[in-house]
Amino acid sequence: MITYDCLSDTELAVLIAADDHGAFAELYERYFSVLYLHVLKKLRDKDEARDLMQELFAHIWARRVNMTRYSNIPGFLYASVRNRVFNIIDHKHVADKYLFSLAVHGTMEEAITDYRIRERQLAGMIESEINALPPKMREVFELSRKLNYTHREIAIKLNLSEQSVRSHVKGALRILRTKFGIFINLLFFFK
């Protein structure tokens, strides 16, 4: 009967490569606790640390024929654990960035959609109020604000004085401001 606790790490590695379950159990007992505490310190999650350790030892057993290549078993185990911890941290970082970008993108899309709906509603309300203006006032206002004619051009086109054109535009704006307040100025300013 082999006493595994008296064997060196190198001797255990040779036995593990030869499918010795007892040697593998001894390696597990020697290093699980110290490596687990190291992983727990880095990840700060008991379940995640335990899962990483189980995955590490399952990986070692699956590739046990390669165990004799490692002359420094503790160094190999530590490096394996370190790399797996880095992979988990990197994966979390990428996942966090992805979730953040989804949240920001989703919020932006909702805001843009909401803005466009409200803009269309407001434009429709303003258009109906413009249509409710007296005919001559509406015609002057539309030439001024929609087609960007100057007061002089409107006066010539409609055979009115420039003062009459100014009065019609002021009257239309006064009526629309009482209905819509500052929104009317912003809408016509940005169009």
**Which domains are assigned to the chain?**
4-83 (1.10.1740.10), 133-191 (1.10.10)
User: pTM of this prediction?
Assistant: 0.51
Q: pLDDT (tens digit, 9 = 90+) per residue, 41-75? A: 999 999 999 999 999 999 999 999 998 888 899 99
Distance, first Cα to last Cα, the chain: 92
Distance set, CA 109 to CA 48, 113, 157, 170 (Å): 35, 6, 44, 38
